[in-house]
Amino acid sequence: MSVAELKERHMAAAETVNSLKERLKQRRLLLLDTDVAGYARSQGQTRVSFGPTDLVCCRTLQGHTGKVYSLDWTPERNRIVSASQDGRLIVWNALTSQKTHAIKLPCAWVMTCAFSPSGQSVACGGLDSMCSIFNLNSQTDKDGNLPVSRMLSGHKGYVSSCQYVPDEDTHLITASGDQTCVLWDITTGLRTSVFGGEFQSGHTADVLSVSINESNSRMFISGSCDSTVRLWDTRVASRAVRTFHGHEGDVNAVKFFPDGHRFGTGSDDGTCRLFDIRTGHQLQEYNQQHDDNEAPHVTSIAFSTSGRLLFAGYTNGDCYVWDTLLAEVVLDLGKLQNSHDSRISCLGLSADGSALCTGSWDSNLKIWAFGGHRRVN
């Protein structure tokens, strides 16, 4: 078989794939008779209304000197780790707003950070293509820096996102610019499995985010610059369980819905979407029309504990609170008093759902929570 012949066959195959994809899309559209918002309206749902004190900024965590890129809460105690362009990880006590650790990183270009489920260690990754683990209990060296307790090296591109497997301090999933996701064993520092990559059916561009299903920690999703989201089973590294199309830009953020059967996405096309992992359908699109066609990108998303609210940070400094049922913006944190001055780059809900933390390029983190009066019975 000559090269030309091979090329021809490849072209034909690619065409077939595209036409099949198109047919699939059509078929899906046919099957979808309604979306979440339409159905909810028909059921007479009313939108969530926000009182003035229901979500107020009650803490400002100051201390970073550069853009904040990532944050994560501990599952049980109220601590936050944040990563900033100033090359530091800071561990905050969210209640007192004090710093407990300021970790100077060997590589300042950090993009992501995560708290381990036990709260004993933090992980971070960035342009150095490594994922570094710091044990918060280890002794500081003579300069007062916390030593790296483990370097997870093996990625061939930047580490864009990392998350610990729930309830396991020894396993971590990273997403990388080398188009793969990797499940790591921290105790050995070796890769347990690699998802995607050259010879496997994985992402075809940089992977930007991962989210692990809280109720079934074997399943995780990854969002990528190829504008798709893929669902993976950690036991089957060879291929993605499902691929979700729909976005028209890089998928910057993915987050599982609290029940684990759905997930939300945020993308460069300015929309958030809700997908169902069982049917593969897109359930709802959350898109705020802008006057100019330059829609701000979605940088980060988070769901409330019940899933009724979707918090989404945008590049223009907005932070919308979406009603997931009716697909309406019920509040914009960016327009409230003392909101961030700059792009909101990351946000996260505390484990008990009582507070939202946002990190911004204005180098501050803010904690938003119910600020009103609680009637004590």
Partner 1 sequence: MSLEVAIVVEDAVEYSFAMEYHGPPITRELPRAVPINVDRIPVASVVSPLPFPDSLSLPVVQPISAADIIGKKLIKDLKLSSSSAELLTVSPTSVIAFESQNNEVSEGSYSKELGLGTETSVSPSSVINASVESETENRSSNDICALSGELSSDFECCNRDDVLSGVNERGYSSISHDEFVGGVGSSGVLESSDSFEKSMEFSGSLRKSRLSGAYKETLDFNESNRTDWESNESVLSVDYLSSRVSSRKFGDGNQDSGGGDVRRAPVVTFCDIESDDENVDDDYSRSEPEVVRMKKEPAAKVRKGACYRCLKGNRFTEKEVCMVCDAKYCNNCVLRAMGSMPEGRKCVTCIGYPISELKRASLGKCSRMLKRLLNDLEVKQIMKAEKFCEVNQLPPEYISVNGRPLYHDELVMLQSCSNPPKKLKPGNYWYDKVSGLWGKVGQKPLQIITPHLNVGGPVKANASNGNTQVYINGREITKVELRMLKLAGVQCAGNPHFWVNEDGSYQEEGQKNTKGFIWGKAGTKLLCAVLSLPVPSKSSDLCGEQISSSISRSMPDYLEQRVIQKLLLIGYSGSGTSTIFKQARILYKDIPFSEDEREHITLVIQSHVYNYIGILLEGRERFEEESLHELRQHQSCDGPDGTTPAGDVDGNGEETPYSIGPRLKAFSDWLLKIMASGTLEAIFPAACREYAPLVEELCSSVAFKATYKRRHELESLPSISSYFLEQAVEILKPDYKPSDLDILYAEHVTSSNGLACVDFSFPEPVYDGDDSGDLHDSLLRYQLIRLQAKGFGENCKWLEMLEDVRVVIFCVSLSDYDQFALDGDGNRVNKMMLSKKFFENMVTHPTFDQMEFLLLLNKLDSFEEKIEQVPLTKCEWFDDFHPVISRNRSNSNNSNHPTLGQLGFHYVAVKFKRLFAALTGRKLYASAVKALDPTSVDTALKYAREVLSWDEERPNVSLSEYSIYSTEASSFSH
The footprint of partner 1 on residues 128-187 (CB under 8 A) is 128-130, 144, 155-158, 177-178
Rama region for 375: left / alpha / beta (φ>0; ψ in -120 to 50; rest): beta
Based on CB atoms, which residue is closest to partner 1, 250 or 269? 250
Looking at beta carbons only, is 145 or 192 nearer to partner 1? 145
Q: What is the DSSP letter of 15?
A: H
Closest approach, Cβ 343 to partner 1, in A, equals: 10
Task: Give the residue with the Cβ less far from partner 1, 241 or 369.
Answer: 369
Contact string (CB under 8 A) for partner 1, positions 314-353, x = contact: ----------------x----xxxx--x-------x--xx
- Least distance in Å: CB of 199 to partner 1? 13
Q: For the segment 64-93, give every residue that binds partner 1 (CB under 8 A).
A: 65, 69, 78, 85-86, 92-93
Q: Does 372 bind partner 1 (CB under 8 A)?
A: yes
283 with 276: CB under 8 angstroms?
yes
Given a contact cutoff of 8 angstroms between Cβ atoms, the answer to whether 69 and 83 are in contact is: yes
Residue among 28, 35, 39, 102 that touches partner 1 (CB under 8 A): 102
Residues 230-269 that bind partner 1 (CB under 8 A): 250
Which of 109, 104, 110 lies closest to 91, judged by CA? 104
Q: Over the Cα atoms of the chain, what is R_g?
A: 21
CB of 177 or CB of 234, closer to partner 1? 177
Please state the closest distance from residue 156 (CB atom) to partner 1, in A: 5
DSSP 14: H
Measured from the CB of residue 227, what is the shortest distance to partner 1 in angstroms? 11
- Cα gap 230→249, rounded to integer Å: 15
Please check whether residue 248 is in contact with residue 242, taking contact to mean a CB–CB distance below 8 angstroms: no
Total of residues contacting partner 1 (CB under 8 A): 79
How far, in Å, CA of 311 to CA of 321, rounded?
5
d(CA 250, CA 208) in angstroms, rounded, equals 8
User: In this structure, what token pair is assigned to residue 153?
Assistant: 């090296």
Q: Write each residue from 6 to 45 as x if it is in contact with partner 1 (CB under 8 A), else as -, in one continuous string.
A: ----------------------------------------
Among 40, 71, 219, 356, binds partner 1 (CB under 8 A): 356
The mark string for 195-224 relative to partner 1 (x by CB under 8 A, - otherwise) is ----------xx-x----------------
Give the contacts of 105 (CB within 8 A, at least 6 positions apart): 87, 88, 89, 124, 126, 132
The span of 17-25, 54-62, 239-247, 288-296 binding partner 1 (CB under 8 A) equals: 54-62
Contacting residue, 97, 193, 216, 243, with partner 1 by CB under 8 A: 97
Q: Which is nearer to partner 1, 72 or 206 (CB)?
A: 206
Question: Which one among 41, 119, 120, 127 touches partner 1, defined by CB under 8 A?
Answer: 127
Q: Give dist(CA 165, CA 217) in Å, integer.
A: 6
Half-sphere exposure (CA, 13 Å, Cβ side) for 163? Answer: 25
Identify the three-state secondary structure at position 61.
strand
Three-state SS at 3:
helix
> Considering only CA atoms, which of 146, 349, 126, 129 is closest in space to residue 257?
349
